[in-house]
Structure 1
Amino acid sequence: MTNVEPDRILIADDHPLVRDGLRTVIAASFPGCAVVEAGSLDEAVTVLEADGECDLVLLDVHMPGTAGTAGLERLRRLFPALTVVMISAAADRSLVAAALSAGAAGFIPKSLRREAIVDALAAVLAGDIYVPAELDQTGESEENQAIWARIEQLSPQQRIVLGQIVSGKLNKQIAYDLDISMTTVKAHVSAVLGKLGVVSRTQAAVAAGKVGFVAPDGAARVSRSAG
């Protein structure tokens, strides 16, 4: 692996202790690198607009102004050339897949050991995509990979609805939980079934369960259309 010394890294996380920990790791591994911090997505955007020259952004999945891949998608729209790595206290394969599909250069669980974080940063800076081995899908069966490929076609709203289906919720319960109309629920469910290539809610739940799908934060806003 080629050693690449970054000049500037932005850490966007609303927890000061997390930022301090990552700053320490970066300072020890890349002593010439300047580290800037942001406690919210809006603050991160402000920093990048003021001086967009960053070799890498470490973006927390959940913090003020963002949840799931929404923050990543916003940064990618505003700064298309930016290299963004998602960091999270909790990770599952569906979230990792969604992040990579949205343009993340990697996914780093905050539980990784210091040495592993350094290796992950070095890999991304060298141009590779980093995903922890336990979250990597490349060793899965062709059937499971096909299921993941279909799940990646779902919009964030549709993934939330799929999570509700996996939990056994009826349309009426989904409408109540997500504060949307029955018509919107039916449209989302129809879109989910179509994209997964199944004909029933049960088949959708079985497919999602087979690959360990975990829905994104249900508090995220679900749009009024199927998308």
Structure 2
Amino acid sequence: MTSTTILVADDHPLFRNAVVHALREALPEACVVEAASATGLNQALEARPDTDLILLDLTMPGAHGFSALLHVRGEHPEVPVVVISSNEHPRVIRRAQQFGAAGFIPKSSPAESIGEAVAAVLEGGAWFPPLTVERSEADATLAAKLAQLTPQQFRVLLCLADGLLNKQIAHELALAENTVKVHVTAILKKLECHSRTQAAVLVKSLEPEGTL
């Protein structure tokens, strides 16, 4: 386990510290990296391409519900992601699974569950609470559409969801405005959306039920 690198992405310092402590108890030789936002998560992954596992909260700054999970799965499909959330709604758990998570740990779970989940996923398995909600074909279709986007197009899509204009997106992502226009056109086509507003509504649908 000396080469195991685990990234904990959660914007609540106290809970993040608790997770890190639980990981060090279960895997004392693992390297644990922390991030407190979607941007920090991306930066950490760029700095540590050898990351073996990500523990991800859904409500960090810069994320729209499941968008961080989808973004990571698109850019780093080889890295398994385990969602940690205070929202234990069965549909939230099912959606996390359908959007590519390898596991789901409710924040109300005992610390031992973190070690169990991490061990299971690192061994190539999965770790989810018992599921009572049927698989959603709508979510499967949405995941398939989003999977067509390139990482850069996904970033542009999130900016669209925030209501940014092309000029603002260009500034935010350090792109030429014409490049943004090309991306927006491609995004709308791949998502089968007729307008920027429709695409933004699609992103909003990634927000889980209830509060996380």
TM-score over 0.5 for the alignment?
A: yes
1:69 maps to 66
Q: What are the ranges of 5 or more consecutive residues in structure 2 without an aligned counterpart?
A: 144-193, 200-206
Instruction: Tell me the CA shift for residue 125 of structure 1.
Output: 1.2
Q: Are 1:216 and 2:203 matched, yes or no?
A: no
What is the CA–CA distance in structure 2 between the aligned matches of 1:85 and 1:111, rounded to whole Å? 15
Aligned residue among 11, 25, 28 for 1:28? 25
**Structure 1 moving runs of 4+ over 2 Å:** 148-156, 215-219
Structure 1 contact 86–106 (Cα < 8 Å) conserved? yes
Q: Are 1:85 and 2:82 matched, yes or no?
A: yes
State the TM-score, normalizing by the size of structure 1: 0.60
Q: In structure 1, what residue type is equivalent to 2:7? A: L
Which segment is superposed worse, 7-16 or 117-126?
Answer: 117-126
Instruction: Tell me the CA shift for residue 73 of structure 1.
Output: 0.6
Alignment size in residue pairs: 153
Aligned residue among 142, 146, 150 for 2:137? 150
Q: What are the ranges of 5 or more consecutive residues in structure 1 without an aligned counterpart?
A: 138-143, 157-182, 189-214, 220-227
Larger radius of gyration: 1
State the TM-score, normalizing by the size of structure 2: 0.64
Equivalent residue runs for 1:50-199 within 5 Å: 50-133=47-130, 136-137=131-132, 145=134, 148-153=135-140, 155=142
What is the CA–CA distance in structure 1 between the aligned matches of 2:118 and 2:2, rounded to whole Å? 10
When residues 64 and 125 of structure 1 are mapped into structure 2, their CA distance, relative to the original with a 3 A threshold, is same
Deviations 1:143-183 (A, max 9, x none): x63xx333534649xxxxxxxxxxxxxxxxxxxxxxxxxx9
Structure 1 contact 97–152 (Cα < 8 Å) conserved? no
1:37 maps to 34
Partner of 1:67, secondary structure, is: coil
Q: Are 1:47 and 2:34 matched, yes or no?
A: no
What is the CA–CA distance in structure 2 between the aligned matches of 1:98 and 1:132, rounded to whole Å? 13
Partner of 1:152, secondary structure, is: helix
What is the CA–CA distance in structure 2 between the aligned matches of 1:49 and 1:118, rounded to whole Å? 25
Q: In structure 1, what residue type is equivalent to 2:137? A: R
Identity of matched residues, %: 36
Structure 2 contact 9–55 (Cα < 8 Å) conserved? yes
What is the CA–CA distance in structure 2 between the aligned matches of 1:150 and 1:104, rounded to whole Å? 17
Q: In structure 2, what residue type is equivalent to 1:22? A: V
When residues 32 and 95 of structure 1 are mapped into structure 2, their CA distance, relative to the original with a 3 A threshold, is same
**Structural RMSD (CA):** 2.8
Instruction: Tell me the CA shift for residue 217 of structure 1.
Output: 5.4
Q: Are 1:7 and 2:4 matched, yes or no?
A: yes
